[in-house]
Chains A and B, each alone.
Chain A
Amino acid sequence: MTPPQLRAVVPLGRHGWAQRHPAGAGKQNPPPTPRHPHPHPHPHHHENSPHHTHPSDVHPMTDLDSTPPDQLTHRTHTDGLDAHLVVTRGPFHLDITLTAAPGEVVALLGPNGAGKTTALRALAGLTPLTAGHLHLDGTELHHTPPESRPVGVVFQDYLLFPHLTALDNVAFGPRCQGATKPAARAQAAEWLDRMGLTAHATAKPRNLSGGQAQRVALARALATRPRLLLLDEPLAALDARTRLEVRAQLRRHLADFEAVAVLVTHDPLDAMVLADRLVVIEHGRIVQEGTPSDIARRPRTDYIAQLVGLNLYKGQAAGHTVQLDSGPAITTTEDLAGPVFVAFPPSAVTLHRDRPTGSSARNLWRCEVAGLETHADQIRADLTGELPLAADLTTVAAAELDLHPGAAVWATVKATQTHAYPA
């Protein structure tokens, strides 16, 4: 399985960081060690205007094009997030390495109980680290109490203070940072305006809709000018229709955010829409990292394959044939050798009641229908037998094949529909 250190830092062009440091874009896989402490510790990041001089701009390294790659690595390590989170609580053990450049949005994706929220709480300082470290923009934070960390959190159910108006909720952070009451309120009003919530400034949280409450929570977290924004299942509390709209808004606000954002979700769509990079966690460990499209095309665990809707198998490739670790061989178009994954979508599977003759498909397996369920206007058939797989077919096709649990069928998949990649 993928070692946790494997990571691809992909700063996207839409973020300030990548625009300011074009040479840094596309830098891949910085070695995890050694760490260089930042020569200019800067614990106060309260000036986030677009004209704000980025701390690294005053760094002695100016000529980026001629900078040796290892110094660029140093740069990616110094700015943004560099964390190794180890939390042990009873039988549960979390051990993940997270890095992110300023402007990057990273999604922690994983099933319930995988440790996503624990990771988020550890980043915020609400759960202490058992071991590891947390550096943000070169500043060591793992011994800093939560109230002193430049970290903003949007909680899953928002946790807006019910006794305060939307405005005073947002003004809470600036007040705690020492702003006078009028100044804090002015700042809060500005944030609410940016979120399109000026009309609801005097509303109490119980009078806000789910989408509005979510935006107030985001404004409240951003008003402290955090260098790390954490979002715990930011859309989970919303109904399907609001969700669509709020997701688009959130994407816009996250794109404008110039520091690191880490969001936790169990919804692959949220992760893919909102994040530049996905980190998939299972059982407290990172099982895969990459861009949304990479993860969607090349899942490396059953959980991810299920999330993105692919049949996934592991085997040994020899040329165009992949001998699965358990089961038959699959013919693919890729020419590979050694351990590989093979994936194909359920829609690529064709079912036949009788053994097909003269079919061009090289991949032919004898299966038995284990279950059927409706998927929108399609039928998803769960097959066991030679090769356990999921197959999608139209309702008409299912009726013509007289599919029912226990029915014997032949499944074919064209080699061109499969996708093999090194494990």
Chain B
Amino acid sequence: MSGQAETIKGGRDRTRTRTRMVPLPLLVPALLGLAFLLLPLVALLIRAPWRTLPEQLTSAEVWEALRLSLVCATAATALSLVIGVPLAWLLARTDFPGRGLVRALVTLPLVLPPVVGGVALLMALGRNGVAGQWLDEWFGITLPFTTTGVVLAETFVAMPFLVISVEGTLRAADPRYEEAATTLGASRFTAFRRVTLPLIAPGIAAGSVLAWARALGEFGATITFAGNFPGRTQTMPLAVYLALQNDPAAAIALSLVLLTVSIAVLAGLRDRWMTPS
């Protein structure tokens, strides 16, 4: 109800803005900025090989890359949920020494160049890595240059989006609901599972979409840590980059697919971010 009222108010504000003159020093850069953002997308549509598009998109290579991308991004999102939501809960609901530092470290991958992330993953989980050598020696597990490696690289880059989103929702949620559950005999974990989790579901969904989109577009960490093997580690972004060297039309076609996915994600988040709050 209040959202409706706000929308109406927002509409009125827009009307008022339109009737007044926008100063030129603001209008010109604003339009330039808009053009700068839109032109590349329009160019992509203009230069798209519309005639050969069906063939381009039905080639085995494209399907292989698309399938791998979707599988890996989904797996990375699932992994982020399993370890990221509890991490967000820990950051939002408990108090331990150095919590601020931990929080900063969790968000580091957001600003870290993905290639650096890939190198760091190699140093940690590579065959001679800090933890990787033991994985190899004890369990015979090798992670770099495998599909699992792609999932790990994408998780490393995408999970902070989920953690930040869920932590914010948790902080906004009233912790007294958990207290109420506790007085009804629920352990802290039961209270989390049966009360907190349903309450923060919208935040988890939004965080998952963000993480999934980020994982889908991952390039730097993936190519550094997992390489570029068609069918095994070659995801869509990697395929696009490779195609651009020998077959620009294919690159455009692949880019259109990713653009479509991005627009779908944006549409999915519309209710959350596109309406004035």
Contact = CB atoms under 8 A, between A and B. Distances in A.
A161 interface: yes
Nearest to A230: B183
A220 interface: yes
A172 B186 contact: yes
Interface residues of A, number: 23
Contact of B185 (A159, A163, A224): A224
Contacts of A172: 181, 184, 186, 194
A162 B184 CA distance: 16
B199 A220 contact: no
A248 interface: no
Interface residues of B, number: 18
A242 B24 CA distance: 58
A153 B186 CA distance: 13
B184 A176 contact: yes
The interface centre, meaning the residue of A126, A147, A151, A153 with most chain B CB atoms within 10 A of its CB, is A147
Interface in A134-157: 145-149, 151-153, 155
Contact of B195 (A147, A148, A161, A220): A161
Contacts of B174: 159
Contacts of B183: 124-126, 146-147, 149, 151-153, 221
A395 interface: no
Contacts of B188: 147
Nearest to A163: B198
B190 interface: yes
A210 B105 CA distance: 45
Nearest to A164: B198
B199 A147 contact: no
Interface string B148-178: 0000000000000000000000000010110
B185 A155 contact: no
B233 to A, nearest CB: 41
Contact of B186 (A126, A159, A162, A176): A176
Nearest to A168: B194
Contacts of A126: 179, 182-183
A295 B187 CA distance: 41
B238 to A, nearest CB: 41
A102 interface: no
A220 B176 CA distance: 15
The interface centre, meaning the residue of B176, B181, B184, B190 with most chain A CB atoms within 10 A of its CB, is B184
A161 B177 contact: yes
B190 A176 contact: yes
A314 B89 CA distance: 55
A159 B199 contact: no
Contacts of B180: 153, 155, 159, 161
B182 A159 contact: no
A148 B187 CA distance: 9
A209 to B, nearest CB: 16
A149 B187 CA distance: 12
Nearest to B201: A163
Interface of A: 124-126, 145-149, 151-153, 155, 159, 161-163, 172-173, 176-177, 220-221, 224
Interface of B: 174, 176-177, 179-188, 190, 194-195, 198-199
